[in-house]
Amino acid sequence: MSETRLSIRILGDPILRRKAKLVAEVTEVDRQVLSKMARLMYDAQGIGLAAPQAGIDKSLIVIDIGSGLYKLINPKIISREGTQSLEEGCLSVPGASVKVRRSKVIKIKALDEQGAAVTIDAQGLLACVFQHEIDHLNGKLIIDYASILSRMRIKKKLEKLQSSQYEKLRESKTESRQL
């Protein structure tokens, strides 16, 4: 297991549309998966990644917007305040960028790697990334926030691409936030 490399799943992969399973008890396997997810996120120059994006059907997320790495299990938003709209990219929807309206200030409840309950206050970009990753755990993607027209455009563009071209597309979009 520890030698298996994870790879990023792209729009069209059914796992991205499934609701991730809650983790009943945090084990060494989950800690290993979180470490691999973090490596995958950093390699792809992302600032957040949810387990389904790595092909894993579990409620796990990693986030690092430049102020430290979060590795969380079963994250849940317990309060929200205000709204904000930021331009978001997604590692699973290469080349797309969608302006998404989200809560500005949120409080998260989750488990840490040791299985201890934690609460996190987040605002601005960090709050946005948490909401994006929790969306992934619920099978929701940024294109669900886009207009029907731009959704069709994004899908069409991706259908034409070979997986080898995803990297290139991602690189060309490094100025937008990849989550």
What residue ranges bind Zn ion (CB under 5 A)? 90, 179
Q: Helix, strand or coil for residue 105? A: strand
Instruction: Count Cβ atoms within 10 A of the Cβ of residue 116 and give its class: 0-12 exposed, 13-18 middle, 19 or more buried.
Output: exposed
CB of 115 or CB of 176, closer to Zn ion: 176
- The least distance separating Zn ion from the CB of residue 99, rounded to whole angstroms, comes to 15
Query: Nearer Cβ to Zn ion, position 9 or 31?
Result: 9
Residue nearest to Zn ion (CB): 90
For residues 139 and 144, give the distance between their C-alpha atoms in angstroms, rounded to a whole number.
10
Q: Smallest distance, Å, CB 136 to Zn ion?
A: 6
**Which of the residues are catalytic?**
133
- CB of 142: closest distance to Zn ion in angstroms? 7
**Alpha carbon of 41 to those of 48, 91, 129, 153, 160: distances in Å?**
7, 9, 13, 26, 25
In this structure, which amino acid lies at residue 147? S
Q: From start to end of the chain, where are the E strands?
A: 48-50, 60-63, 70-89, 97-111, 117-123
With b for 16 or more beta-carbon neighbours within 10 A and e for fewer, the 36-56 pattern comes to bbbebbeebebbbbbbbbbeb
Residue 3 CB, shortest distance to Zn ion, in Å, is 26
DSSP state of 140: -
Rank residues 26 and 170 by Cβ distance to Zn ion and give the closer one. Answer: 170
